[in-house]
């Protein structure tokens, strides 16, 4: 049986998707209009990773969960007031930009460096969690690059389910094409898991968990290390909101094959 895992979740804040996001050209490059004023939420994919981590830790004694977040610490403090009540974790903060216009390579470098410095972290028990995508930094490669920097070669992407077997090995279900799953087995930690939607609902708020988390969250925010993420290596020729295009035609008794042909012709056109 497993003697416990050290689970590190990489996840940060993103603007609330219910808000209108308008890209602009700022002094440091592309940015969002009034970004500092936008309400934020925990990145949805990172949220799934955090909830799965908490569930795994709860069912495997001796486990511990860390949440490593890169973002403006004032915004992170605001976010933690709600996230702290969802699941027990210890927060590690990097005070830096959280926009979608930063280089995933540099973000991964900063995250890996922070993980290396976590006191008491046992890499032989390490499970690195994160989202398979992001609502802002949707490069889809950040978690993999963090794993590579930490020397972890066992990596599983678009994970929906993780089970610990009786011998301590791990059974993983990964999404593949056609609505099917690829089933993999891993001998154990260390390993990287980029989560899709998982199987768990969002946990209800638990004030007791929140109070327990806030004892370490506030000191972590106060000790947040500033991180400089440059944009010198990337450039954007233009940023804009995608234009909406809708053309509707109501028809009756048209064969499916003909509908499919018309859709393909419309896409090509």
Instruction: Determine the Cα–Cα distance for residues 155 and 9; give it in Å rounded to an integer.
Output: 14
Q: What is the mean pLDDT of the chain?
A: 86
Instruction: List residues bridging with 159 in a β-sheet.
Output: 174, 195
- How do residues 232-268 score in pLDDT, each as one tens digit? 666 666 666 667 777 777 888 888 899 899 889 888 8
6 φ, ψ to 5°?
-105, 105
Considering just the CA atoms, what is the radius of gyration of the chain in Å?
A: 21
Compute the CA torsion angle 113, 13, 6, 131 (nearest 10 deg): -100
**Position 173 confidence tier, pLDDT thresholds 50, 70, 90:** very high
Tens-digit pLDDT profile for residues 89-148: 999 999 988 777 777 888 899 999 999 999 999 999 999 999 888 877 667 788 999 999
Could you report the per-residue pLDDT of 197-227, keeping only the tens digit for each? 888 888 899 999 999 999 999 999 998 888 8
CA–CA dist 180, 137 (Å, integer): 26
Order the strands of the 225-226 sheet from edge to edge: 180-186, 170-176, 155-164, 191-195, 126-131, 6-10, 64-71, 90-95, 225-226
Tell me which DSSP letter residue 117 carries.
T
pLDDT for 1 equals 43
Task: Compute the distance between CA of residue 89 and CA of residue 65 in angstroms, rounded to an integer.
Answer: 5
Can you tell me the distance from the alpha carbon of 152 to that of 207, in angstroms, rounded to the nearest whole number?
36
Give the model's confidence band at 174: pLDDT under 50 very low, under 70 low, under 90 confident, else very high: very high
Give 245-251 contacts, CB < 8 A, sequence gap 24+. Answer: none
User: Which residues are CB-contacts of 217 (< 8 A; sequence separation ≥ 6)?
Assistant: 77, 80, 84, 91
Selection from 48, 67, 77, 188 nearest residue 118 by Cα = 67
Among 136, 125, 61, CA closest to 100: 136
pLDDT confidence band for 149 (50 / 70 / 90): very high
Which residues, 6 or more positions from 179, have their beta carbon under 8 angstroms from its beta carbon? none
For the chain, report the end-to-end CA distance as a whole number of angstroms.
58
CA distances from 76 to 65, 85, 180, 226 (A): 18, 14, 36, 13
What structural domains and CATH numbers belong to the chain?
6-226 (3.40.50.620)
pTM of the model: 0.82
8-27 pLDDT, tens digit per residue, is 999 988 888 777 777 777 77
């Amino acid at each position: 049986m497993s003697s416990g895992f050290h689970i590190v979740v990489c996840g940060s804040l993103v603007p609330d998707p219910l808000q209108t996001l308008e890209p602009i050209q700022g002094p440091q490059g592309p940015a969002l209009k009034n970004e500092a004023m936008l309400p934020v939420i925990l990145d949805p994919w990172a949220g799934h990773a955090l909830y799965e981590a908490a569930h795994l830790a709860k069912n495997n004694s001796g486990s511990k969960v860390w949440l490593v977040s890169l973002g403006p610490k004032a915004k992170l403090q605001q976010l933690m007031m709600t996230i702290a009540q969802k699941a027990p974790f210890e927060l590690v903060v990097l005070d830096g930009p959280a926009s979608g216009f930063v280089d995933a390579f540099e973000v991964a470098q900063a995250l890996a460096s922070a993980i290396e410095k976590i006191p008491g972290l046992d890499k032989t028990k390490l499970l690195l969690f994160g989202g398979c995508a992001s609502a802002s930094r949707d490069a889809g490669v950040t978690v993999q690059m963090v794993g590579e920097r930490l020397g972890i070669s066992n990596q599983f992407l678009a994970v929906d389910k993780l089970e610990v077997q009786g011998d301590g090995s791990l059974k993983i279900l990964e999404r593949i094409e056609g609505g099917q799953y690829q089933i993999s087995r891993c001998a154990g930690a260390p390993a990287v898991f980029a989560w899709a939607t998982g199987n768990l609902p969002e946990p209800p708020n638990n004030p007791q968990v929140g109070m327990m988390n806030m004892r370490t969250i506030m000191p972590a925010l106060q000790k947040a290390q500033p991180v400089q993420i440059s944009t010198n290596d990337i450039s954007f020729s233009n940023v804009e909101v995608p234009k909406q295009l809708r053309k509707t035609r109501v028809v009756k008794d048209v064969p499916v094959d003909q509908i499919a042909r018309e859709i393909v012709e419309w896409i090509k056109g």
